[in-house]
Amino acid sequence: MATETVSTEAGGMDSFAALFEASISGGEFGKEGEIVQGTVVAVQRDNVIIDIGGKSEGMIALSEFAGADGTVSVKAGDRIDVYIESRENDDGLVTLSKEKADKMKVWDEISGACERDELIEGTISQRVKGGLSVTIKGGVKAFLPGSQVDLRPIRNLDKLIGQTYQFKVIKFNKKRGNIVLSRRVLLEKERDEQKTKTLETLEEGKVVRGVIKNITEYGAFVDLGGIDGLLHITDMSWGRVNHPEELFKVGDEVTVKVLKYNPETERVSLGLKQTQEDPWSHAEEAFPPGKKVHGKVMSITDYGAFVELEPGVEGLIHVSEMSWTKKVKHPSKLLEVGQEIDCQVLEVDAKAKRISLGLKQLEPDPWTLFTEKYSPGDKIGGKVRSITDYGVFIGIEEGVDGMVHKSDLSWTAKVNNPADLHHKGDDVEAIILSINHDEKKVSLGIKQLWDDPWPTIFSEFPPGKVVDTKVVSVVDYGVFVRIREGVEGLVPTNELVERKGEDGEVKPYEIGDAFQAEIANVDSQDRRLTLSMRIGEGVALAQKSEKQRASVTPKKSDEGPRATSIGELIKQKLGDKLVKKDDEG
> What is the DSSP track for 232-281?
EGGGT-SS--S-GGGT--TT-EEEEEEEEEETTTTEEEEESGGGS--GGG
How far apart, in whole angstroms, are the C-alpha atoms of residue 243 and residue 434?
Answer: 56
Residue by residue, what is the 3-state secondary structure of 144-180?
A: EEHHHCCCCCCCCHHHHCCCEEEEEEEEEECCCCEEE
* pLDDT above 80 for 115: no
The per-residue b/e assignment along 415-426, b for 16 or more CB within 10 angstroms, e otherwise, is beebbbbbeeee
pLDDT attached to residue 296: 92
* pLDDT above 90 for 420: no
Inter-CA distances, 367 with 95, 239, 362, 435, 440, Å: 103, 37, 14, 11, 7
pLDDT attached to residue 541: 53
Average pLDDT over residues 75-102: 80
SS3 label, residue 355: strand
* pLDDT above 50 for 19: no
**What is the phi-psi region of residue 578: left when phi exceeds 0, alpha when psi lies from -120 to 50, beta otherwise?**
alpha
Average pLDDT over residues 457-476: 91
Per-residue pLDDT band for 433 (boundaries 50, 70, 90) equals very high
pLDDT attached to residue 141: 83
pLDDT attached to residue 561: 43
pLDDT attached to residue 326: 80
pLDDT attached to residue 544: 54
Per-residue pLDDT band for 150 (boundaries 50, 70, 90) equals confident
pLDDT attached to residue 297: 93
Per-residue pLDDT band for 579 (boundaries 50, 70, 90) equals very low
Tens digits of residue pLDDT in 245-275: 888 898 889 989 999 988 888 889 998 888 8
- Do residues 571 and 561 make contact, with C-beta atoms less than 8 angstroms apart? no
* pLDDT above 70 for 482: yes
- Do residues 466 and 516 make contact, with C-beta atoms less than 8 angstroms apart? yes
The per-residue b/e assignment along 459-474, b for 16 or more CB within 10 angstroms, e otherwise, is ebbebbbebebebbbe
pLDDT attached to residue 281: 85
* pLDDT above 60 for 497: yes
Average pLDDT value for the chain: 81
* pLDDT above 80 for 576: no
Q: Between 130 and 55, name the one with better pLDDT.
A: 130
At 72, give phi and psi (nearest 5°): -110, 125
- Do residues 394 and 428 make contact, with C-beta atoms less than 8 angstroms apart? yes
* pLDDT above 50 for 569: no
* pLDDT above 70 for 91: no
* pLDDT above 50 for 315: yes
How far apart, in whole angstroms, are the C-alpha atoms of residue 278 and residue 274?
Answer: 8
Number of other residues whose CB lies within 10 A of the CB of residue 518: 22
- Do residues 532 and 518 make contact, with C-beta atoms less than 8 angstroms apart? yes
Q: Between 99 and 318, name the one with better pLDDT.
A: 318
pLDDT attached to residue 422: 87
pLDDT attached to residue 337: 92
| pTM, rounded to two decimals | 0.46
Inter-CA distances, 177 with 107, 127, 133, Å: 9, 19, 14
Per-residue pLDDT band for 575 (boundaries 50, 70, 90) equals very low
At 141, give phi and psi (nearest 5°): -95, 130
Average pLDDT over residues 452-475: 91
Per-residue pLDDT band for 68 (boundaries 50, 70, 90) equals low
Tens digits of residue pLDDT in 185-224: 888 888 888 788 878 888 888 888 889 988 999 999 998 8
Per-residue pLDDT band for 506 (boundaries 50, 70, 90) equals confident
Q: Between 137 and 355, name the one with better pLDDT.
A: 355
pLDDT attached to residue 562: 45
Q: Which of 82-86, 136-140, 386-390 has the lowest mean pLDDT?
A: 136-140
Question: Which residue, among 162, 123, 175, has the nearest Cα to 144 in the 3D structure?
Answer: 123
